Amino acid sequence: MAENQNPNRLTTAAGRPIWDNQNSQTAGPRGPVLLQDYLLHEKLAHFNRERIPERVVHAKGSGAYGTFTVTQDLTQYTRAKVFSEVGKQTRVFLRFSTVGGEKGSADTERDPRGFAVKFYTEEGNWDLVGNNTPVFFVKDPVKFPDFIHTQKRDPFTNCKSATAMWDFWSLNPESLHQVLILMSDRGTPYGYRHMHGFGSHTFSFINKDNERFYVKFHFITQQGIKNFSAEEATAMKGIDPDFAQRDLVEAIEKGDFPRWTLKVQIMPQADAATYRINPFDLTKVWPHADYPLHELGVLELNENPVNYHAHVEQAAFAPAHVVDGIGYSPDKMLQGRLLGYPDAQRYRLGTNYEHLPVNRCPYGFSNYQRDGQMALGDNGGAGPNYFPNSFDGPQEDHSVGEPAEELHGLADRYDRNAPGENDHYSQPGNLFRLMTPEAQRNTIENIVGAMSGVTGPKREEILQRQLCHWFRADIGLGMAIAQGLNVNITMPAHHAPAAATV
């Protein structure tokens, strides 16, 4: 094997030097990610293949079947048949999960929680794949593998590393909003029944007139928000590391069916170009004062799977799975997940993962895909495996489709935190100031405890850099954390990332 001539130069696996490993290539600063961005593909594809056989992220989960019932008429915004009339019911499967831990990790870890819903609709399966938070740590998919590596095990010690986590977060101030939520009591929810769920990304509604609206989905728990304190969560790891799994199964078994109200924020497409916040930035929320919540329906879980592996472990979700009347948006993280999630499922379960009972559309499907691992059923029988053909194979349906979406801008790797996109502090600061005094105290204690785990020769630099971000969000928050860490704020401002410099 040839010796690496320049080990400090970042390259692709084929040796091509990389000039920007921070930003995906997009059509304009706010446009969608381009298919030609091979660096993004290589990073995501390699990332999806790093672990076998469990999921790389969301490895430990719980799931149940249930129903979604439409309670309000929003047909003026979407023609999706799942929402076609009040009272309409659709069978669903919902998988909850922790994110960073392995399959054997504890349910009460401080971690976001996955909230993935599969709607079995007559027009195909719709997967709404989200979390229990409305935002995320990064807003460009090229950053995702690097972020997850910091949440996994250190390649030298094989232990979780607070140093890696805070080093990454301090170098990526866009993460501050999600980190603040994670460090609050909502970072340790009391099982899965007492937390909200969010689609997180910006999606589209398309109505019968082919008009597009941008939307965000919110599942509001009817059980009420309930969280563990940090001490309670730590204690429960030893008492019952499967607490959330047990709590969900037992509640459903005794008929205490958990419910969530599905609500949606709706933004007319024309607003997106002029709204004061980038509506496609996954690290930001849309203020409810500008775009209020509209009730859509109620989701109820009322059936435990009869076999965990067959239904929960083999469940496969992908935000690429939408139905007519629901579409995507230029949300960069969503665009990356459209590629990454189906690719992860093909790797983990095989190319025909959608043939498995939990993933199969109960209303059937017809296409020209044949063969491969687990080609269940008759594999297309004697029918042709190409299109077009003269043998009465399935044909295109020209009654569905989406309106054209205007794109603009030169293809480039635009700085995701360029001026106008670099306010990482207003929303976290506002969130902290909305907390009760008790919630603020708990959040500060959790942050101090977590940052105290930073070790090594870069400890002081990492702490100072992260403290700069806390100060910019809220002076009182920054002072309290610095006091808790016994740190004097003396580090020069050049230690903060350029995009975050005030």
Catalytic positions are: 58, 131
Which residues are paired to 420 by β-bridges? Answer: none
Question: At residue 123, what is the residue type?
Answer: E
Mark out the alpha helices in 8-156 (DSSP H runs).
Answer: 38-48, 144-151
**Contact indicator for 232, 287 with CB cutoff of 8 Å:** no
Locate 353 and state its tokens.
């993962």
**Contact indicator for 247, 241 with CB cutoff of 8 Å:** no
Locate 496 and state its tokens.
């903060």
The position carrying tokens 């700085």 is 415
Locate 94 and state its tokens.
């919902």
Locate 292 and state its tokens.
């209020």
Number of H helices and number of E strands within the chain? 12, 12
**Contact indicator for 248, 308 with CB cutoff of 8 Å:** no
**Contact indicator for 353, 316 with CB cutoff of 8 Å:** yes
SS3 label, residue 411: strand
Nearest residue to 96 (alpha-carbon basis) of 112, 110, 116: 116
| Residues whose CB falls within 8 Å of the CB of residue 102, separated by 6 or more in sequence, listed in order | 54, 59, 60
Question: At residue 386, what is the residue type?
Answer: Y
Report the distance separating Cα 24 and Cα 37, nearest Å: 7
**Contact indicator for 176, 474 with CB cutoff of 8 Å:** no
Residue 104 is classified by DSSP as T
Report the distance separating Cα 402 and Cα 114, nearest Å: 29
Assign residue 58 a region (left: φ > 0; alpha: ψ between -120 and 50; beta: otherwise).
left
Q: For residue 459, how far is the Cα from the chain centroid?
A: 29
Show the beta-strand stretches assigned E in 316-403.
326-327
**239-244 CB contacts, 8 Å cutoff, 24+ apart:** 240/107, 241/105, 241/106, 241/107, 241/108, 242/107, 243/106, 243/107, 243/108, 243/191, 244/62, 244/96, 244/107, 244/108, 244/189, 244/191, 244/192
**Contact indicator for 142, 43 with CB cutoff of 8 Å:** yes
Report the distance separating Cα 118 and Cα 320, nearest Å: 12
Report the distance separating Cα 65 and Cα 438, nearest Å: 36
Helix (H) or strand (E) holding 121: strand 113-121
